[in-house]
Structure 1
Amino acid sequence: MVSYNDKITLINYFRSVAERELCSIVRSTHDYRKQASKINTVIKDQKDCTIDEMLQTARHSRWSNEYVLDCVLHITYASYVVMLEFRNKVWPYEYMAFARRIGELWEPFCKETFSYPVKKLRLINPPDFDEVQEDIKRNASNYINSLSVDYQTKRLLHYHYSIPWNLVDSGGIQLGLDLHFSQNGINYNCDFKSGFSSNEKGNTNRLLLVASIYRFLNQNEKTLLFVRQREDENNHYLQTLKNSGYWDVFCADDAYAKMYEFTGFNLRLWLNENATWSDDISNELYLHLQNKDLLKYLTW
């Protein structure tokens, strides 16, 4: 029986699962990339299964929302520790891969506090751009038809209005972000970002476009950006978003404070007390990261 909020027990449990599967994975393929992918999948599947088992127990025993979330975070964190360890066994981490991986794990970890919130909120689906587009066209068409002008003028107005829409590739515009939820009558559309580097121009332009569409849709639509790094660790692309008027940007501890405001759970405090990466990872991984000067990236 796994203790669902005992970090050490959980880490050892996931290690035993990974050790059991690693030999067969190594025998099945000599491609270290495939080995890494397979061992990650094994650990993730076991993490999902463990959470499902915990939720069944929670429903039967009527655990509080906060206790359930605490268990989800412990299970997820323990799986991350072991995922990093065993990926490193088959494909040792270099700088870019490790820095990117730590950032990739951060987003779904933060989102758990919204999936199992202490305060009341509702996860929602993002709007479909094709439906948004048709609604805008319909309203504009009705307005043009209502004007006190002759038929030829109306046809000309419809034609000129259609030109920019013909230039838009609707299939290329996705309004889905990392997280969408509703609370107190407001829809929040959120993106999580580990940090902004020199190659973020395309992503920045997309975020500006998406946020501008949300702003047009409804005054009750808000777009939020949560950034793992401190503001001074990011480049000018973050400032572009912050100064645009379309995004409310929260970095580092400010991001955790805002999440706390929405979810009622202090993730910053939880991480301070439980996410002691350097103490929790294996000696093998610790020495590898130390030799590669990568320990500094073990921070959330």
Structure 2
Amino acid sequence: MNVDRKLFERKDEILSYMRDRAEESYGEIVRTYGEAEYKKRASGINKKIIATTDNIKSIILQRARSQNWEKEEVLKNILVVTYSSYVIMIEFRNRAWPYEYMAFARRIGELWEPFCKLCFDYPIRSDVELYEAPLFSEVKEQLQEEIRVYINSLNITDDEKENLLEYYDKVWSLVTSGEIKLELDLHFKIDGRKYNIDFKSGFQSNEKGNTNRLLLVASIYKNIVGGDNECMLFVRANEDDNNHYLQTLKNSGIWDVSCGEETYQQISEYSGFNLAGWIQDNIDWSSDLSDDTIQYFRDNDLEKYLTW
């Protein structure tokens, strides 16, 4: 397979190459693990497909640098190779360990998030800059120091200051009784303003724990970290297809929630790339998956989950 700047126009060639590579690897895996070790077969072939994908991406990026490809050429090539790898992963996972509906629905959602993030890993906009999320321990330490300085500056007795600090420490002990992870799925900056993004396939089950965590994290970004911090939730499912936990976040005043088509509009605005249009023109699960795979999905009523 010739990797050039127009590779993204040859999806069938990419699929054929990656399928043949996976077939070679799967033969070795089957000889290593018996039928009863289907989980090891599935894990083994998945790792091989990821390795092949990473190798192709490395070639793309190397040639893009040496040949001065346009940003859009780089992103389109990365997108089509990534999508093709998903097709092959699904085929061989289903061969090694046939999907049931819960695992398949979850897997399609799991693949969607990193796919969307590619638009920010290789943004068309020149002012998009990824950044590392702060550690809660650092945020806590900074706030504690500010509060201690403030309390010590008050015109009260030393005993009163000590009592205030003791109560303050008690409050912190409650807040930090569990780990607080401020890292979300994506963090980027535009013109100094920070955007903290969480991707979600949908809210169809009991999401109480996750909802409470998201409310806490956004509150910390807004009220403690401060500055120009925006917290945005990108949901794949349409708003009407989600339960009340989504509405809790939407009505919180601290999360900017987008669903369905609006999510893709936000991705386009902030990354500079029309991902929805690219998906419409290039992703066709029913045609790209092998005949036996798509037939299995149809027989088991799984094809309906193949929507992005």
Output the TM-score relative to the length of structure 1.
0.98
Aligned counterparts of 1:2 and 1:33: Cα–Cα separation in 2 = 34
2:284 to 262, 268, 276: 276
Q: Which residue of 2 aligns with 1:223?
A: 231
> 1:16 — aligned with what?
20
- Alpha-carbon contact 2:22-2:49 (below 8 Å) kept: yes
Does residue 50 in structure 1 map to residue 70 in structure 2? no
- Quick one: which amino acid aligns to residue 21 of structure 1? S
Name the structure 1 match of 2:179: 172
Question: Residue 199 in 1 paired to residue 219 in 2?
Answer: no
> Are the counterparts in 2 of residues 25 and 35 from structure 1 also a CA contact under 8 Å?
yes
TM-superposed deviation, 1:170: 6.5
State the Cα deviation string for residues 281-300 of structure 1 (Å, max 9, x = none).
Answer: 11011100000111111110
Query: Out of 260, 264, 269, which is 1:256 matched to?
Result: 264
What are structure 1's unaligned runs of at least 5 residues? Answer: none
Matched-pair contact (CA < 8 Å) for 1:129–1:173: yes
Give 1:143's match in structure 2, choosing from 143, 150, 154: 150
CA contact (8 A) 1:2 1:13 kept: no
Contact preservation (8 Å) 2:204, 2:241? no
Q: How does 1:30-69 map to 2 (within 5 A)?
A: 30=34, 31-69=37-75
The Cα of 1:87 is off from its aligned counterpart by 0.6
Match of 1:242 among 227, 239, 250: 250
Output aligned runs, 1:10-159, within 5 Å. 10-30=14-34, 31-120=37-126, 121-159=128-166
How large is the RMSD of aligned CA atoms in angstroms?
1.0
Q: How many residue pairs end up in the alignment?
A: 300
Taking structure 2 as the reference length, the TM-score comes to: 0.95
How far apart, CA to CA, are the structure 1 residues paired with 2:278 and 2:56?
20
Task: Using the TM superposition, name which of 20-29 and 69-78 deviates more.
Answer: 20-29
Structure 1 runs, 4 residues or longer, greater than 2 Å off: 1-4, 167-171
Aligned: 1:211 with 2:218? yes
- Cross-structure match for 1:2: 2
Aligned to 2:306: 298
Matched AA of 1:267:
L
Q: How many angstroms apart in 2 are the aligned matches of 1:170 and 1:280?
A: 49
Deviations 1:108-136 (A, max 9, x none): 00000000000020000000100100111
Cα offsets for 1:139-161 (capped at 9, x unmatched): 10011001011111111111111
Alpha-carbon offset, residue 184 of structure 1 = 1.6
In the alignment, the residues of structure 1 paired with residue 238 and residue 279 of structure 2 have an alpha-carbon distance, to the nearest angstrom, of 16
Q: What is the alpha-carbon distance in structure 2 between the residues aligned to residue 17 and residue 156 of structure 1?
A: 68
The answer to whether the 8 Å contact 1:178/1:192 transfers is yes
Look up the SS of the partner of 1:229 in the other structure. coil
Offset from partner CA, 1:75-97 (integer Å, 9 cap, x none): 00110111100111111111001
Letter in 1 for 2:49: I
CA distance in 1 between partners of 2:51 and 2:200 (Å): 25
C-alpha contact 2:211 2:245 (8 A) present in aligned 1: yes
* 8 Å CA contact 2:232, 2:257 repeated in 1: yes
Distance 1:203 1:89 in 2: 33
Cα distance in 1 between the residues matched to 2:195 and 2:258: 14
Question: 1-side partners of 2:255 and 2:71: how far apart?
Answer: 30
AA aligned to 1:279 is S
Mark the runs of 5 or more structure 2 residues left unpaired by the alignment. Answer: none
Contact 1:130 1:170 in 2 (8 A): no
Mapped to 2, the partners of 1:171 and 1:138 lie a distance apart of: 21
